[in-house]
Each structure stands twice: as structure tokens, then as C-alpha cells.
């Protein structure tokens, strides 16, 4: 279990990569603020994004191997639950292209209305 607080790389309009875990699900719970949970399936190096505006106190599960990230507004706090030592090696990252960043930014804006 860990707490993720807002940081610039997680800003609502600044998501530049996706990550996934190969051995564990990951669970998110919004404590305060605004956060958009991003999930994506991949086909031929293209992502199909789905964005959900999180509600405080609700549990959100990202299944093993699903690409994801979380976009947050300043002052936001999220609790993360994952298998022990996941942060030591059970992850892959993929940088987003400029076109993917723009698409995701627009989806995040729409989800935050």
C-alpha cells in the first residue's frame, strides 16, 4: 500500500506515458481532490483509452497487464494497493506519441466535466 500525491508528471494535462504490471492487479482509492483513472488496451502500438473520473472512497481495480495511469489535479491524494515489491520490477512503461498525448488530454478534459 502506498499514497500517491499530486506531482507535475501526473497533472491532468501532462500524462506522457502508460504503464502496466505483469504479475499483479493494482487498486486505486481517491482520498481527496480530482483524479482521472486512465486504462488502455493496445493493438499494433496504438492505445484505445478509457478515462474514468474517480469518486472519493470508491475502489477502482486495474487488472494485471492492462496499461494505465492516473491524472491528478493539484492537492489530490490517492491510495494505491498492489502486490509487495511490485515497484521493484513488475512494470513496463510506454511513452506516448504526441498524437496520443493530445488524444488523451482531450479525453481527460471531457471526463473531468
What is the extent of the structural domain holding 65? 2-111
Identify the CATH number of the domain in which residue 69 sits.
2.60.120.10
**Which tens digits make up the pLDDT trace of 11-33?**
999 999 999 999 999 999 999 99
pTM of this prediction? 0.93
| pLDDT tens-digit readout, 38-47 | 999 998 888 9
Condensed to tens digits (0 to 9), the pLDDT of residues 69-94 reads 999 999 999 999 988 777 767 789 99
Alpha-carbon separation of residue 17 from 1, 10, 69, 101, 108 (angstroms): 22, 10, 8, 8, 14
Q: How many domains does the chain have?
A: 1
Amino acid at each position: 500500500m502506498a499514497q500517491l500525491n499530486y506531482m507535475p508528471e501526473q497533472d491532468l494535462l501532462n500524462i506522457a506515458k502508460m504503464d502496466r504490471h505483469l504479475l499483479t492487479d493494482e487498486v486505486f482509492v481517491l482520498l481527496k481532490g480530482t483524479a482521472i483513472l486512465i486504462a488502455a488496451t493496445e493493438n499494433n502500438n496504438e492505445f484505445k483509452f478509457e478515462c474514468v473520473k474517480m469518486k472519493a472512497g470508491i475502489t477502482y481495480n486495474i487488472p494485471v497487464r492492462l496499461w494505465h495511469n492516473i491524472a491528478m489535479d493539484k492537492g489530490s491524494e490517492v491510495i494505491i494497493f498492489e502486490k509487495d515489491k511490485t515497484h521493484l520490477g513488475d512494470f513496463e512503461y510506454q511513452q506516448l506519441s504526441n498524437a496520443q498525448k493530445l488524444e488523451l488530454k482531450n479525453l481527460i478534459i471531457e471526463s473531468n466535466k
